[in-house]
Amino acid sequence: MSPQPAVPGPTPPPVPRPTHLRLVPPPRRRRRWLGGDDGMSTVEYAIGTIAAAAFAALLYAVISGDTVLAALTDLVQRSLTAAF
């Protein structure tokens, strides 16, 4: 037996919020408050590119080390000679 669907009632009016407690200013003043974002995406791309290059250099240094190379070679050899 399925429950009866609820009958929608009247929608309550919106609760007015005090304007002096707003964390974000109204839209007409928001751009002035946040400041311009000219060039922001260019800087973000530059920082992301530098971070990616640094991570790639670190990864290359780790992978090309003798210890990691030996461990990877041993892992591949054990995988190829495993008995099923």
Domain boundaries, the chain: 39-84
Average pLDDT of the segment spanning 28-48: 69
Q: Are 30 and 24 in contact (CB under 8 A)?
A: yes
Q: Nearest 5°: CA angle at 19, between 16 and 23?
A: 115
CA quadruple 18, 20, 21, 22: dihedral positive or negative?
Answer: positive
Q: Which residue has the higher pLDDT, 8 or 43?
A: 43
Question: What confidence score (pLDDT) does residue 9 get?
Answer: 74
Kindly state the tokens that stand for 36.
């311009």
Residues 6+ apart with CB under 8 A from 30: 24
Question: What confidence score (pLDDT) does residue 53 get?
Answer: 97
pTM here?
0.41
